[in-house]
């Protein structure tokens, strides 16, 4: 299925699944779980009692109107909110059943295991090679130059960029096109061997062709990493994800199979959103 319209047509083929009330992706290997998560910025509450399970095999999309808390919640999953002084997170979030907010958790390691790709491509002002080599080097993943070269090449191949840059690895990463820069950022995340990749509107700064390439890449990476993507674009959620979580006003309204949520939402608020009544 390629778009929401196709889904509507194919609605009769879709298997019924447990719905919003359960946070569990029933057929996936569980990778991350969040329970009763609240996030406050100072006195303002941005996330209210969110519980969700993130599976390994499927891409999970977070959708919802602007300001509903999608990015805030995404950033909880690798403690990126720690970098915002007024942000306070309560509740429990586990990665492979280990509490990521436990004081013994090494946040640098956590962010290698749970990598992040941002809205605006943000390569370091260094060469293409160095952008990818930096993480493996600081995490001690290569014992020789040959090993480091191999990691860089493999990561660029996996990010679908190698063919375009193999003859100019010493050129600056910032000289690439926006779409190439975003794939470089994905290669950078991949290079430290993550288990989860969080993507915060990774295509919002890209043109349609670059967007299509990133979506194709997400499909290729599915199953190799648990992938969570925040997107404003419902067609994109339908194209790349198998699970969708709909957020509204800081709450998780509904979470289920993407095909199910778009064709047969269980909540009125989800229905209003996907039919364009607000947002």
If one asks whether residue 46 binds ligand ATP (CB under 6 A), the answer comes out as yes
* Per-residue interface string for the shown chain with ligand ATP, residues 197-236, x marking contact by CB under 6 A: -----------------------------------x----
Residue 110 tokens read as 């956590």
Q: Among 60, 71, 241, 259, which residue sits at the site for ligand ATP (rule: CB under 6 A)?
A: 71
If one asks whether residue 58 binds ligand ATP (CB under 6 A), the answer comes out as no
* Nearest distance from C-beta of residue 255 to ligand ATP, angstroms: 15
What span, in angstroms and rounded, lies between the C-alpha atoms of 84 and 44? 14
What span, in angstroms and rounded, lies between the C-alpha atoms of 165 and 168? 5
Q: Is the distance from CB of 184 to CB of 123 less than 8 angstroms? A: yes
Q: Considering the complex, state which of residue 86 and residue 175 has its C-beta at the smaller distance from ligand ATP.
A: 86
Residue range at the interface with ligand ATP (CB under 6 A); choices 65-73, 106-114, 126-134, 257-265? 65-73
If one asks whether residue 67 binds ligand ATP (CB under 6 A), the answer comes out as yes
If one asks whether residue 18 binds ligand ATP (CB under 6 A), the answer comes out as no
Q: Considering the complex, state which of residue 46 and residue 176 has its C-beta at the smaller distance from ligand ATP.
A: 46
Tell me 88's DSSP state: E
Residue range at the interface with ligand ATP (CB under 6 A); choices 6-14, 60-68, 132-140, 162-170? 60-68
Q: Long-range contacts: 100-109, Cβ < 8 Å, 24+?
A: 105/79, 107/79, 107/82, 109/139
If one asks whether residue 69 binds ligand ATP (CB under 6 A), the answer comes out as yes
Q: Considering the complex, state which of residue 29 and residue 36 has its C-beta at the smaller distance from ligand ATP.
A: 36
If one asks whether residue 70 binds ligand ATP (CB under 6 A), the answer comes out as yes
If one asks whether residue 101 binds ligand ATP (CB under 6 A), the answer comes out as no
SS3 85: coil
CA 54 to chain centre: 11
Tell me 80's DSSP state: G
If one asks whether residue 84 binds ligand ATP (CB under 6 A), the answer comes out as yes
CA 254 to chain centre: 18
If one counts every other C-beta atom within 10 angstroms of the C-beta of residue 234, the result is: 21
Give the pairing of strands 30-41 and 87-95.
antiparallel
Residue 208 tokens read as 């349609």
Residues binding ligand ATP (CB under 6 A)? 41, 46, 64, 66-72, 84, 86, 232
């Amino acid at each position: 299925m390629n778009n929401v319209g196709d889904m509507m047509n194919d609605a009769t083929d879709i298997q019924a699944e447990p719905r919003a009330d359960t946070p569990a992706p029933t057929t996936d290997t569980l990778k991350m779980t969040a329970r009763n998560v609240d996030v406050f910025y100072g006195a303002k509450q941005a996330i209210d009692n969110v519980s969700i399970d993130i599976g390994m095999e499927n891409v999970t999309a977070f959708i919802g109107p602007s300001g509903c808390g999608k990015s805030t919640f995404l950033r909880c999953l690798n403690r990126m909110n720690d970098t915002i002084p007024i942000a306070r997170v309560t509740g429990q979030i586990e990665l492979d059943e280990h509490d990521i907010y436990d004081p013994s958790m090494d946040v640098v390691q956590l962010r290698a295991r749970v990598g992040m790709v941002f809205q605006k491509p943000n390569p370091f002002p260094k060469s293409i090679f160095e952008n990818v080599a930096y993480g493996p080097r600081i995490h001690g993943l290569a014992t020789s130059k040959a090993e480091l070269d191999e990691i860089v090449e493999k990561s660029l191949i996996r990010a679908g960029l190698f063919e375009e840059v193999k003859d100019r690895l010493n050129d600056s990463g910032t000289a690439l096109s926006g779409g190439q820069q975003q794939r470089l950022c994905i290669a950078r995340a991949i290079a430290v061997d993550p288990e989860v990749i969080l993507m915060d509107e990774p295509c919002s700064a890209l043109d349609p062709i670059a967007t299509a390439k990133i979506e194709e890449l997400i499909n290729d990476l599915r199953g190799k990493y648990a992938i969570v993507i925040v997107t404003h674009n419902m067609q994109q959620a339908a194209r790349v994800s198998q699970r969708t979580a709909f957020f509204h006003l800081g709450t998780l309204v509904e979470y289920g199979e993407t095909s199910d949520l778009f064709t047969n939402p269980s909540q009125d608020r989800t229905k209003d959103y996907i039919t364009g009544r607000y947002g």
